[in-house]
Amino acid sequence: MRRRGRPVLGAISGLFFGLFLGLTLFMFRLYQSDSPVLLILPIVGLVLGIALGLWAPLRRGPQQQVTEVVDSH
Partner 1 sequence: MRMGMRWRVAAGGAVAAAALVASSSPAGAVFTTNTVGCSGSAVITSPDGETYEGDARDVSVEVPREGVAAWEGSINPVTHNHFGEVNLAVGPLDVQLGKWGPSENADDEASSSGTKEIPTIMQYALPGEYVVSGFHQGDEGGCSGFVVVAVDVSPFSTPTGVGALVFTVLSGALMVGAGIAKAPKL
List the one residue out of 73, 72, 15 whose CA is nearest residue 44. 15
| DSSP secondary structure, 12-38, as one string | HHHHHHHHHHHHHHHHTTSS-TT-THH
Contacting partner 1 within 17-46 (CB under 8 A)? 17, 20-21, 23-24, 26-29, 32-39, 45
Q: How far is the CB of 57 from partner 1 (least distance, A)?
A: 6
Contacts with partner 1, residue ranges (CB under 8 A): 1, 3-7, 9-10, 12-14, 16-17, 20-21, 23-24, 26-29, 32-39, 45, 48-49, 52-53, 55-60, 64, 68, 72
